[in-house]
Amino acid sequence: MISLLAVTTATDPLSYAGPAWSPYVVGALIGVLSWLTFYFSDKAIGASSAYANVAGAIGRLVSRRHTDSLDYFKNNPPKLNWELTLVIGVLIGSFVAAWTGHEMTGEWLPPMWQARFGANSYILRMIAAFAGGLLMAFGARLGGGCTSGHGISGTLQLSVGSWIAVVCFFLGGIPVAMLLFGI
Amino acid sequence: MKSTNSGKVSGAGRQLLLGLVFGGIFGFLLQKGGVGKYHILIGQLLLRDFTVAKVMGTAIVVGMLGVFVMHWMGVVKLHIKATRIGANTIGGLIFGAGFALSAYCPGTNMTALGQGNLDALFVVAGMLAGSYLYAEVSGLTKGSIEKWGNRGELTLPDLLSIPRKPFVAMFAVAIVAGLVALAKLTIR
């Protein structure tokens, strides 16, 4: 009974550490950052297309002819661009924030995942992470953006399609998350 | 990288550097906002932890006010994505299901990786595969799903036939009211 209770608590997200900074401060600063990207780079923040860029570059190494024949890569030829350096920057910025804030994790399994699926559920996590990434990238390309491109940049410009997409992110995500955690 | 003339090279190089700097700030902020953490991201989809909604809502209201004011001053161009109701809906639902499985979205996945969540590497691999898979079928979807409900650069004020300036003001108030309600009703 005690162990059952412990498991129940460990799958509650609120039993783990919260954010280092207030979400309102972080959100406001991201809003200001979006002013800067519009002003200095004539760009809106987005993350998902960088992955397509790299996928195309790898595809070209394997089969240049086939990759170049695909409609998406005809219109978006893979290259080192602003979107890609932005995503590389995110990796570096996060590292700096975590390192200086003593929040480095260095773990293959998140604690809440372990509490739900077991301490040795490496293969299951590998499959879920890979499948999740695959669906996200496919969905983002089909839907025209991700949680950054639609979720922040598109919504702040009041794009109807972006608001539809964000609602669908949650409509698609909530039931799957609840199934995963047995709620 | 190809370049046609030297003037373009320095401009392009400057933009690559700016991308890196802006990305660095973005990643720093995302990490500080806790949205590289597995439990905070999945906690949002489980409707237990509303950190993600608070970060997004605040970013939207602050970003909207600044970007529209600068646009009306004539110093920035808008980059409104086309509304394609079919593709936004189907793509959005697929994205959401994937988001729940990985718990990291494309931007926060790099945040997770940067802070040492190594499972994010598998999300990267999945995203590369998913991107290429989309490219494989992009000719088909372009002629079908992406044509359904194609409304071009449609905005909420256009849709509701309200002039943009009063709409932005009213919408800012509405989002702030939503954020205040979230702060009162949620534990985190």
Mean pLDDT of A110-134: 97
Which residue in chain A has the smallest CA separation from B141? Answer: A142
B-contacting residues of A 54-93, CB under 8 Å? 54-56, 58-59, 67, 70-73, 79-93
Is the pLDDT score of A3 beyond 70? no
- pLDDT class of B10 with cuts at 50, 70, 90: low
User: Does the CB of A142 have a partner CB in chain B at under 8 Å?
Assistant: yes
- Cβ distance B55 to A27 less than 8 Å, yes or no, reads yes
What does the alpha-carbon distance between residue A176 and residue B46 come to, in Å, rounded to a whole number?
9
Mutate which of B69, B131, B160, B171 to test chain A, going by most A C-beta atoms within 10 A?
B131
Mean pLDDT of B59-64: 98
- pLDDT class of A182 with cuts at 50, 70, 90: confident
What does the alpha-carbon distance between residue A77 and residue A71 come to, in Å, rounded to a whole number?
10
User: Does the CB of A167 have a partner CB in chain B at under 8 Å?
Assistant: yes
**Mean pLDDT, rounded, of chain A:** 95
Q: What are the pLDDT digits (tens) for A67-108?
A: 999 999 999 999 999 999 999 999 999 999 999 999 999 999
Is the pLDDT score of A143 beyond 90? yes
Mutate which of B2, B14, B17, B22 to test chain A, going by most A C-beta atoms within 10 A?
B22
Of A177, A176, A172, the residue nearest A146 (C-alpha): A172
Alpha carbon of B73 to those of A39, A98, B48, B66, B168: distances in Å? 12, 38, 41, 11, 15
Mutate which of A33, A142, A166, A168 to test chain B, going by most B C-beta atoms within 10 A?
A142
pTM score of the predicted model:
0.95
Which member of A13, A130, A172 has the closest CB to residue B49?
Answer: A13
Alpha carbon of A167 to those of B29, B45, B69, B141: distances in Å? 24, 12, 26, 21
User: Does the CB of A51 have a partner CB in chain B at under 8 Å?
Assistant: yes
* ipTM of the modeled complex: 0.95
Tokens of A67: 């990759």
Which residue in chain B has the smallest CA separation from A129? Answer: B102
Of all residues in chain B, the percent with pLDDT exceeding 70 is 95
User: Does the CB of A7 have a partner CB in chain B at under 8 Å?
Assistant: no
Sequence ranges of the domains in chain A: 20-106, 108-183
Which member of A139, A141, A181 has the closest CB to residue B46?
Answer: A181
Q: What are the pLDDT digits (tens) for B64-123?
A: 999 999 999 999 999 999 999 999 999 999 999 999 999 999 999 999 999 999 999 999
> Which residue reads 């036939």 in tokens?
B161
